[in-house]
Amino acid sequence: MTVEDRDLTLLDDAAHAAELPRESDSLDEENTLKKDFVRRVQDALAEDDQETVYALVEPLHPADIADLFELIEVEERPVLAKAINDLMGSEVFAELNDHVRELLVESLPAEAIADIAEQLDTDDAVAMLEDLDERDQQAVLAEMEPEDRAAIESALSYPEESAGRLMSRDFVAVPEHMTVGDLIDFLRDSHELANEFWEVFIVDARHHPVGTCALSWILRTPRAIRLTDVMQRDQTLIPVSMDQEEVALRFQKYALISAAVVDESGRLVGQITVDDVVHIIQEEAGEDVLLLSGAGDGDVNEPIRDSYVSRVRWLVANLLTALLGATIISSFSGAIEKLVALAALSPMVASIGGNAGTQTMAVAVRALATNQLTRANTRRILWRELRVAMLNGGTVATLIGLATALVFASPLLGAVIGAAVLTNIVTAGLAGVLVPVTLDRMGQDPAVASSVFVTMITDSMGFFAFLGLAVASGLVG
């Protein structure tokens, strides 16, 4: 809603596009740093031309400076950090990719790290320090102001990826009897307030939150009104031990901007704001595709050795699964010798089953992660996926059966492969739901282990059904 004021003349000026985001010298149309720009920075770094580096980097937003670090070579990063000096503020550190930050932090002395940590919000400072080894961590903490040190040690006492680590200890909490006017006066007089806050928490004598008051409400309420009369009593309280993924789901479900964090006794100890959660939502939602394939972190800044270790583990696990399939085929060697076409066709049956299984698995894993698949509707969803699998299986089995019968001039072979494909796709549909659900019920992350089991099932079933039916049907004399 706009304020129409006699001083305000609203003239449309189609030519005036001064504020529109446009390609700049450094950012391209996708809002990422241009290749030329990065190259110019790298050239200046190579020539040790600190002035040019500084001039190029100075106009950038901290988030873009953080991106720049990711785009240059590993060896160039400490050089860049030195060249831009005072631009390397806490804001840039907060935005840095985890791996990049880890390397940079390792190259700095403890006092320098302590300085940066003191300027950061507790959750960002914790993110910076939590991956340091014990000795380095202690060294840094020793250099910090007692208050900040205590806050960080307190945060580190909570489990990793919990609300306690995510939360900020800066928030505004006021007693119940205050009026709007009291609050505004208090805020105006205080000099040490939270950087950003979107609502005010109202607490009782025991420091338990009794309600929240959005700033937009406070601003439009007359000064004399008591906060308890305008506050919202219905609030979402986050226990300090709650897993960050759960926190993210709550924020999404209830469209929260911020939420109070309470300890075991119900005392208000911190606040989580949605911008911290947004980062987690993207991470957690995006990681399923990486976990399902065993790609690990999926972060291209991860040291190569770490990527190798996590991925090769997965490949070896799948090797064992593939071995099972090879063993099954081996046991039908006699049949294959008599009808070599079987060797060419059996991988198709296994592969199609694998594809169908992966589809169902992807759906089930996402549905579990977003709480769409719960105990209350598991049976219904299983039945649904079974029906989809039968439709898919019927269609694909018919296509492949007809094609095979034609190409090999053998209706029996066509029927055998069709039946095998149908069996495998239906099996894949069932496995694609049951395996993730079972892992979830056992408290395991379904995205991590499901695909090994599902692939094992579809490969085995594929080879066994096809070759078994080929023999049983008398196709192979």
Q: Within 336-365, which residues bind a copy of itself (CB under 8 A)?
A: 336-337, 340-348, 350-352, 355-356, 358-363, 365
State the binding string over 135-154 for a copy of itself (x if CB under 8 A, else -). Answer: --------------------
**CA 441 → CA 230, 366, 445, distances in Å?**
43, 15, 9
Interactions with a copy of itself, residue window 249-268 (CB under 8 A): 249-257, 262, 264-267
DSSP letter (8 states) at residue 168:
B
Smallest distance from the beta carbon of 210 to a copy of itself, in angstroms?
8
- Residue 48 or 337: the one with the smaller Cβ distance to a copy of itself is 337
Smallest distance from the beta carbon of 202 to a copy of itself, in angstroms?
11
Of how many residues is the chain composed?
Answer: 477
Parallel, antiparallel or unpaired: strands 258-262 and 268-273: antiparallel
How many Cβ atoms are within 10 Å of 56's Cβ, its own excluded? 20
* DSSP conformation letters of 211-243: EEEEHHHHHTS-TTSBHHHHSB----EEETT-B
Interactions with a copy of itself, residue window 270-309 (CB under 8 A): 273-275, 277-279, 281-283, 285-286, 288-290, 292-295, 298-301, 304, 307-308
Out of 57, 126, 141, 218, name the contact with a copy of itself by CB under 8 A. Answer: 218
Smallest distance from the beta carbon of 117 to a copy of itself, in angstroms?
19
Interactions with a copy of itself, residue window 186-205 (CB under 8 A): 186-188, 190, 192-194, 196-198, 203, 205
Candidates 43-51, 106-114, 159-167, 384-392 — which segment interacts with a copy of itself by CB under 8 A? 384-392
Smallest distance from the beta carbon of 476 to a copy of itself, in angstroms?
13
What does the alpha-carbon distance between residue 320 and residue 330 come to, in Å, rounded to a whole number?
15
* DSSP conformation letters of 236-256: -EEETT-BHHHHHHHHHHTT-
- Residue 155 or 291: the one with the smaller Cβ distance to a copy of itself is 291
Out of 214, 415, 419, 448, name the contact with a copy of itself by CB under 8 A. Answer: 214
Smallest distance from the beta carbon of 219 to a copy of itself, in angstroms?
5
Interactions with a copy of itself, residue window 303-332 (CB under 8 A): 304, 307-308, 311-312, 314-316, 318-319, 322-323, 325-327, 329-330
Out of 132, 367, 413, 431, name the contact with a copy of itself by CB under 8 A. Answer: 367
Q: Helix 98-106 crosses helix 76-84 at what angle (to 10 degrees)?
A: 80
What does the alpha-carbon distance between residue 381 and residue 364 come to, in Å, rounded to a whole number?
9
Candidates 44-52, 107-115, 146-154, 184-192 — which segment interacts with a copy of itself by CB under 8 A? 184-192
Interactions with a copy of itself, residue window 45-84 (CB under 8 A): 61, 63, 67, 70-71, 73
34 lies in the site for a copy of itself, by CB under 8 A? yes
The identity of residue 403, as a single letter, is A
Residue 1 pairs in a beta bridge with: none
CA quadruple 465, 466, 472, 473: dihedral sign: positive
Smallest distance from the beta carbon of 371 to a copy of itself, in angstroms?
5
- Residue 81 or 237: the one with the smaller Cβ distance to a copy of itself is 237
Interactions with a copy of itself, residue window 391-410 (CB under 8 A): 391-392, 395-396, 399-400
How many Cβ atoms are within 10 Å of 417's Cβ, its own excluded? 28
Contact 171, 271 (CB under 8 A): yes
3-state secondary structure (DSSP) of residue 203 = strand
- Residue 112 or 210: the one with the smaller Cβ distance to a copy of itself is 210
Q: Please report where in the chains the tokens 């609502």 appear, as a residue.
A: 199
CA-closest candidate to residue 198, choices 211, 213, 188: 213
241 lies in the site for a copy of itself, by CB under 8 A? no
- Residue 17 or 86: the one with the smaller Cβ distance to a copy of itself is 17
Binding-site size for a copy of itself (CB under 8 A) equals: 178
- Residue 294 or 468: the one with the smaller Cβ distance to a copy of itself is 294
DSSP letter (8 states) at residue 266:
-
Interactions with a copy of itself, residue window 112-131 (CB under 8 A): none
Candidates 78-86, 108-116, 136-144, 185-193 — which segment interacts with a copy of itself by CB under 8 A? 185-193
- Residue 140 or 464: the one with the smaller Cβ distance to a copy of itself is 464
3-state secondary structure (DSSP) of residue 9 = coil
- Residue 350 or 431: the one with the smaller Cβ distance to a copy of itself is 350
- Residue 304 or 442: the one with the smaller Cβ distance to a copy of itself is 304
Q: Helix 411-441 crosses helix 378-407 at what angle (to 10 degrees)?
A: 160
Ordered alpha helix ranges (H), 232-372:
244-253, 274-292, 304-331, 333-338, 341-369
Interactions with a copy of itself, residue window 154-183 (CB under 8 A): 170-175, 177-178
Contact 302, 312 (CB under 8 A): no
Interactions with a copy of itself, residue window 404-443 (CB under 8 A): 425
Contacts by residues 310-317 (CB-CB < 8 Å, ≥ 24 positions apart): 314/452, 317/452
* Backbone φ and ψ of 456, nearest 5°: -60, -45
What does the alpha-carbon distance between residue 293 and residue 290 come to, in Å, rounded to a whole number?
5
